[in-house]
Amino acid sequence: MKLKGKVAIVTGASSGMGKEIAYYYAKEGAKVMAVARRIEKLDVLVEESKNLDGKIVPLVADVSYKDQIEKMIDETIKVFGTLDILVNNAGIMDDFSPVGDVNDDMWEKVLNVNLNGPFYATKKAINYFKEKGSGVIINTASIGGLHGGRAGAAYTVSKHGIIGLTKNTAIMYAKQNIRCNAICPGGIETDIGNGAFMKNINEDGMNLVMAGSGTNPRTGKPNEIATVAVFLASDDAGFINGQCIAVDGGWTAY
C-alpha cells in the first residue's frame, strides 16, 4: 500500500474527483479527513469505504471561509495526531462570462472557493509541515489554468492562480522536504456543471469555449484523477515538485 500510515485531508470529497481521491487514499492505507459541505454525501463515502485498509472520517466545512479552513486542519491533527498530505480539491465553475460581463458576487465566490480556500489551507498546513519536517500538497487545478478558453474569466483566473501558488510553494519550501504539485484535469465526469452559476450561462462565452470541445479525445472518469493523486502523494513521486500535470486524455496535446 502506497499511503500506509499517512494522514490526509481531501476537500470537495462529497462527489466527483474528491470522493474518488479520498476513497483511493483509504484504499492505499491512509487515514483521510474527507471535507465537504454535504454531510449526507460524506456519510455515503464513509459507508462505501468501511472495508478498506485505511479510514475515512467526514468533516463538514466550507472552504470559502478562512476560519473553517483553519479548524479543518486543527481538527484533523486532533483526530489523527498528525497531517502528511493536503489535497486542495474543492472547486466551483463560473458561468462562462468574459471579464466585461462578470458579476461581482460570482467573482468573489469563485475566487474564494477555488483560490482563497487553497491559499489559506496551504498557509496553515505549511507551518505545520515545517515543524514536522515533511509534507505533501496536491492542488486540483485545471487545463483551464493552462489556457484561456476553457471557462469564463473567474474560473480561468482562479485556476491560473492555483498553478502560480503551486509553483511558488514548491520552490519556496523544497529544501524543507515539502512538495507541492498540481493536477490539471481535462473534461471529467463530475457534477461541477450543476453548480449555481451554471443555471444562468453567458451564451456567447459558452459558445466560444465549446467551439474547441471537438478536439477533446474523450471525457475522463474521476478515478483517473484519483490514481494520479495517489502517485503524487506517495514516496514514488519524491522527486516531483512544482509540477502541473495535465490529465486530459491528450486534449492539450492538440
Q: Identify the bridge partners of residue 87 per DSSP, sorted by sequence position.
A: 10, 138
* Distances 137 to 44, 67, 152, 233 between C-alpha atoms, Å: 26, 20, 26, 8
155 among known catalytic residues: yes
**Assigned C-alpha cell, 51:** 472495508
CA 136 – CA 126 distance, rounded (Å):
9
State the Cα torsion 159-220-191-32 to the nearest 10°: -80
CA 251 – CA 123 distance, rounded (Å):
32
SS3 annotation, 15-31: CHHHHHHHHHHHHCCCE
Residue with cell 476537500: 11
Helix (H) / strand (E) element for 77: namely helix 66-80
Catalytic residue among 24, 25, 155, 173: 155
Half-sphere exposure of 251 (CA within 13 A, CB side): 24
Residues designated as active site: 155
